[in-house]
Structure 1
Amino acid sequence: MNVSVDAVAKSAYTVYSYNAALPTTNKTLDDLGFASNTITINQPSGGTSTITVDTTKDTLATLAAKINADKSTNVTASFNDATGQFSLVSKNTGEGQVTLSTFGNFTADPKDGVDAKATINGITYKQASNTFDMNGINFTVRNQTSSSDPTTVSVKTDTTTILNTIKSFINDYNTLIGTINGKLGEKTYRDFMPLTEDEKSEMKESQITMWEEKAHSGLLKNDNILSGLVSQMRIATMADYQTKTNLTSIGITTGDYTTQGKLVIQDENKLKEAIEADPQKIIDMFTKAAPTGTKVTADMSGVGIFQKLTQFTMTALKQLSEKAGTLTTSSDTTADFIENSLLSDTIRSMKNRETDLAARLSDKETQYYKKFTAMETAINKMNTQSSSLSSFMN
């Protein structure tokens, strides 16, 4: 790109000089000829802002402090007591003036702001800011150049940033797949069942912690949802993005069987060369989105790895949520289960079974009470008859 700078944007400013004899030290604004307690600041853009003062108490020094403390004024004020001068400078660059509506017994010397003007590849740009954006390139104008000797700007892709981003992705990916594989192979301690409140009351805190760690261990062992996710992740990362273009072709492979699918940069020079040769292709290999409404599969070509992994992990989270009955956005273990989840159905089924068994137990108790009552009545009747016979025989 050929760039020439015809003008650098500058801020408008105004210097106010005291017309009477010096000094102005400790003189109030009223002494200096200010007639109003409201001072309006006229901005280069045409807008205004106001400052409220007390002309009987405020001085030029306190006026400057009030202006600088109020961010809405968008100006910077300075006061030099030795010269009796007060200056006002706009914080923004660009054409226009910055002035005060009233400034007592002072003479104003305003200097207009200047717009930046630059010619990039033959096209002239003029604006208040010194920053230009063209074709994704950000230019900051700092000095004026000769129109006969423009500056040539060469654009090169920042391969280092792309490489570091890929390395960061690999680290995060390996952490995730390592965590999932750890849960899938976690040991189960079947002798450590969940503790009741009564059991906890008889144990020390350290014993409860150790017991619950054992009880929780292996809850996701060989879980089919997580197993399916790992399988999809491994296929998605190593599948072809385009014909014969995949992670392996740019120097990234999976480790040996002990790493369980973790990624390794086997040849960093090969990866750098691939980025330098066609950076957009490498970016697309990771970030290319699928067409709207398309069902993404692990081996689908033309879809970026990030897109695939995002969809697979979100699907797995939803499935786990439906199974566990907890929200995907919360880790609160005390929250109510989702009504239509597998665990909710299981809990409801167990409670219904408990109610049915309690009813059957009650029925059995009633039956036995009736039988025992009948038997007791019969025994009492027999005892009465036996007593009568015994009396008759005597």
Structure 2
Amino acid sequence: MSTVSSTSSSTNVLRITGMATGLDVDSMVEKLMAAEKTKVDKVKQEQQIIEWKQEAYQDIIKDIKDLQSSFYDVTSSDKNILSSSNFAGFNVTGGNNAVANITAGTGAKVGNYTVKVTALASGAGISNTLSGKALSTKLTDIDTLDNTDLTGSITLNLKVNGGSDVIPITLDNSSGDKTIGDLVTAINSQGSGNVKASFSELTGKFSLTTTTTGNTASLTIDSGTSTDLSKVIGFDPAGPFPWSVTNSSSGAVIGSATAVKSANADVTITPPGETVGIPVTNQTTNVFTIDGMNYNLSGVGTSTITVGADNDKVYDKIKGFIDKYNAIVDKIQTKLTEKKNLSYKPLTDTQKEAMKDTEITNWETKAKQGILRDDDNLKKMLNDLRSAFTTPVDGTSFSMVKYGSNSIGLDFGSDRTKPQHIDITDSSKLKAAIATKGDEILKFFTNVSTSSDATTANSENGILTRIKSVLENNVGKTGISYNNAVLTKYANKQDDFSINGTSGSNTLPNQIYQKQQLIDTLNKSLSKKQESYYQKFAKLESAMNTLNSQQASLSQLSGS
């Protein structure tokens, strides 16, 4: 049987085989190659197992990242379980936010609070009225003083809070097009966060103040400052230099300007149980905390609030964390103990061609079982997480036991298939501890050690702080996907050496790449082997052609 075939190796070759022998050469070569191809299939199956393991790892990493985003996001106090506000069992009602925004934290008392703000803490500065002007007004169009010219290079040299370092502000107005808005931007961008400038188009006021508030703040306009800036800022160009303003004195200003002296906040607070307001002394800022109450002053006036107990808020936050934590550790534990089904191996391409999609899916589901069985990295992580709960927290009397005076109603579950599972064995005990020992509960869960010694730090850290550390050691910090943490380094693609063709550490991407290198090598060997078989059959064809030719010649001789 003669056949025409196209075989592929490094190039496409058109073959006409079996013309002389009548053999089905392609079929025979395919059968001869079958045993050789099983070597490639075996390596592909090994590679597939590694890829499945990588996918399983990445699925676990995603779950942990979700936990971190929900409970360890430092950008949001509500999503940062280590924030003391999450362990403050209080709610606040009433109040006037135009005067102060007030929240209750750990250490606050239940009852009514009255806050009277007579004056906000202020920085030192100067304010000048530029009537009829706008942000878009050119500096050269400000003519409040005679014979002034704000063109060329404009310089404003400042000093703040009694410091000796000059903060230089420069603005190039050679074109004459710079505006009030440009000057505001230059001061705010070049002021190193020490000063701020603003202009109100409603009032026409240009203001320059220190960002530091309180009676220690001061502002100095130093020598070297462009004199013509006086018509914008408001200092008297005829007055002595350096020009300055403190909490008690100021330099001379022009008629449309006012020096703003620095001052502490003037505020009194009447806490629960008191009938007379207590002055808050030496308060240099408008944001402060006293006796567990957080105050953010915003205006002059009086605000009264009521603080009530809200222990369910703390309990719900702890329970929410435990529920999400349990879902992850239970899933990992299941993967660690799942038995391998040796009857199901990864399918070869040939096997898949003979199956339906649903059959392939069902088969691969069984083939993936046990892919993470007894995985060392995951076992160590679970052991470290368990230790985070079992190691006593220094300075607290609580422990992870079901019974006893030091129990807070938390313990490991009794289900042996879920040894890392945390149970709230007695919710009333946990709620009672939250209500009566709030400071100790806060320390037990969230304390952060300042010790540089690792052993001491671990003993002093709260349970949730320890868990945060374990998770970061394994998947990195919140919001960072690729890093050198244990699981991500082992599984994620930053170590995918197929990108640069080199070998590295024994990560899963590298193992996958090494298998691919072996597959490529075997395929090249297969191509050579296949070519050698065709060459042998070609020689047989040639020999048969020669023999047939000789027979034809003999037949002709006999016939003649």
Same fold (TM over 0.5): yes
Partner of 2:249: none
Partner of 1:376: none
Pick from 161, 166, 180 the counterpart of residue 64 of structure 1.
180
Alignment: residue pair count: 320
The letter of the residue matching 2:324 is D
1:219–1:43 CA distance, 2 compared to 1 (3 A)? same
1:191 lines up with 2:191 in the alignment: no
1:286 lines up with 2:408 in the alignment: no
Partner of 1:250: 408
Structure 1 residue 8: Cα displacement: 2.5
1:34–1:198 CA distance, 2 compared to 1 (3 A)? farther
Pick from 284, 287, 295 the counterpart of residue 131 of structure 1.
287
Output the CA distance in 1 between the equivalents of 2:127 and 2:152.
21
Deviation digits for residues 190-241 of structure 1 (CA, Å, limit 9, x no counterpart):
1332456777788888876665443332123355775676577568647876
Structure 1 residue 75: Cα displacement: 0.8
Deviation digits for residues 83-108 of structure 1 (CA, Å, limit 9, x no counterpart):
9x553343736454588842587854
SS of the residue 1:286 aligns to: helix
The letter of the residue matching 2:228 is T
SS of the residue 1:116 aligns to: coil
Structure 1 residue 143: Cα displacement: 6.0
Partner of 2:172: 52
Output the CA distance in 2 between the equivalents of 1:316 and 1:117.
47
The letter of the residue matching 1:220 is L
Partner of 1:110: 258
SS of the residue 2:211 aligns to: strand
Output the CA distance in 2 between the equivalents of 1:198 and 1:217.
22
- 1:291-310 to 2 correspondences below 5 Å: 292=453, 294=455, 304-306=462-464
Highest CA radius of gyration, 1 or 2?
1
1:92 lines up with 2:240 in the alignment: no
Partner of 1:10: 122
State the Cα RMSD in Å.
5.7
Structure 1 residue 302: Cα displacement: 8.0
Pick from 125, 145, 152 the counterpart of residue 37 of structure 1.
152
1:286–1:158 CA distance, 2 compared to 1 (3 A)? same
**Do 2:311 and 2:434's aligned partners in 1 also have CA atoms closer than 8 Å?**
yes
The letter of the residue matching 2:442 is I
SS of the residue 2:488 aligns to: coil
Deviation digits for residues 322-350 of structure 1 (CA, Å, limit 9, x no counterpart):
xxxx9533323755573699x99xx99xx
The letter of the residue matching 1:169 is F
State percent identity of aligned pairs: 22
Output the CA distance in 1 between the equivalents of 2:376 and 2:137.
82
SS of the residue 1:274 aligns to: helix
Structure 1 residue 174: Cα displacement: 0.3
Partner of 1:272: 431
The letter of the residue matching 1:65 is G
Unpaired runs of 5+ residues, structure 1, are 318-325, 352-394
The letter of the residue matching 2:181 is A
Output the CA distance in 2 between the equivalents of 1:41 and 1:125.
32
SS of the residue 2:128 aligns to: strand
1:15–1:30 CA distance, 2 compared to 1 (3 A)? closer
Deviation digits for residues 167-210 of structure 1 (CA, Å, limit 9, x no counterpart):
23302320222111221343533133245677778888887666
Output the CA distance in 1 between the equivalents of 2:377 and 2:257.
76
Output the CA distance in 2 between the equivalents of 1:49 and 1:139.
34
1:272–1:327 CA distance, 2 compared to 1 (3 A)? closer
Output the CA distance in 2 between the equivalents of 1:153 and 1:39.
50
Partner of 1:167: 319
SS of the residue 2:282 aligns to: strand
**Do 2:410 and 2:425's aligned partners in 1 also have CA atoms closer than 8 Å?**
yes
Output the CA distance in 1 between the equivalents of 2:133 and 2:471.
75
SS of the residue 1:250 aligns to: coil
Output the CA distance in 2 between the equivalents of 1:213 and 1:51.
68
**Do 1:89 and 1:98's aligned partners in 2 also have CA atoms closer than 8 Å?**
no
> TM-score scaled to structure 2, two decimals?
0.42
SS of the residue 1:39 aligns to: strand
Unpaired runs of 5+ residues, structure 2, are 1-107, 161-165, 233-253, 269-277, 476-484, 498-502, 519-560
